[in-house]
Amino acid sequence: MLTVIVADAPDTDISAFRPLVDCAQLRIAADGGARYLLALGVRPDLVIGDLDSLPEELLAALADQGTQIERHPAEKEETDLELALLRAVEQGASRMIVLAALGGRHDQHLANLLLLAHPQLQRREVMILDGSWEIRLISESVEITGRPGEIVSLLPLGTAHGVTTEGLYYPLRDESLLLGPARGVSNILLGERARIIVREGLLWLFHCRDSPAAAIELISPDR
């Protein structure tokens, strides 16, 4: 089930991802992310968080229209986006696209990237889309598709061993990427496909496509 989760990063425009929002089987707003969906004329199926970013009148109107409202205390251990991701897992989501997660406060920005490593998200496909950037976490062998010349950066979360790449300008052959050095930044896709293998550890995959539309056309809602 394809689920779109909209966070609340400031000054974000998700209109380029309207096709993904329209075809999602479940649309979840993390607190103020509901505003971005409503700006597209789309009602979220669920609004979750401490709900300090939305007026009570709007929440009441959404509830009257059938949106599930799930309020959590302001003093909680999870961020609103984390709650949204965990609720999506409980609802059976196998693929999750996260929008409006980057920008604004630096700590929130980094925390949202780290959520890709959440234990409850293992064996599920989770992707953050931001403009032309597609960001995910890989721990084994993956194949990526795109267009020649696109940027692909591989950054370790900790230390990653046994990293091998095929189809990238700067090859890695069963090598280690260490936390700290920026060796994996700004690789280049040579053709339309590349393969990345990680024998041990986790890698952030940052893929900058030609445009948001290029990312959307490669994401099938039927999977």
Torsion over CA: 70, 74, 78, 81 (sign):
positive
Say whether both 151 and 119 belong to one domain.
Answer: no
Dist CA 35 CA 48 (whole Å): 13
Contact between 207 and 146 under an 8 Å Cβ cutoff? The reply is yes
pLDDT of amino acid 61: 94
Contact between 10 and 101 under an 8 Å Cβ cutoff? The reply is no
pLDDT of amino acid 210: 79
Is there a domain that residue 214 lies in? no
How far is C-alpha 4 from the geometric centre of its chain's CA atoms? 9
pLDDT of amino acid 142: 94
What lies within 8 Å, CB to CB, of 84 at 6+ separation is 5, 7, 28, 29, 30, 33, 46, 48, 49
Is there a domain that residue 184 lies in? yes
Say whether both 70 and 174 belong to one domain.
Answer: no
Contact between 139 and 202 under an 8 Å Cβ cutoff? The reply is yes
Give me the CATH number covering residue 160.
Answer: 2.60.120.320
Residue span of the structural domain in which 157 resides: 138-208
Domain final position from 62, 97, 130 = 130
Is there a domain that residue 215 lies in? no
pLDDT of amino acid 223: 46
Say whether both 48 and 147 belong to one domain.
Answer: no
Is there a domain that residue 174 lies in? yes
Q: How many domains does the chain have?
A: 2
Using DSSP bridges, classify how beta strands 203-208 and 133-138 pair: parallel, antiparallel or unpaired. Answer: antiparallel
Write the pLDDT tens digit of every residue in 143-179. Answer: 999 999 999 999 999 999 999 999 999 999 999 999 9
Residues in the chain with pLDDT < 50? 222-223
Say whether both 39 and 84 belong to one domain.
Answer: yes
Give me the CATH number covering residue 57.
Answer: 3.40.50.10240
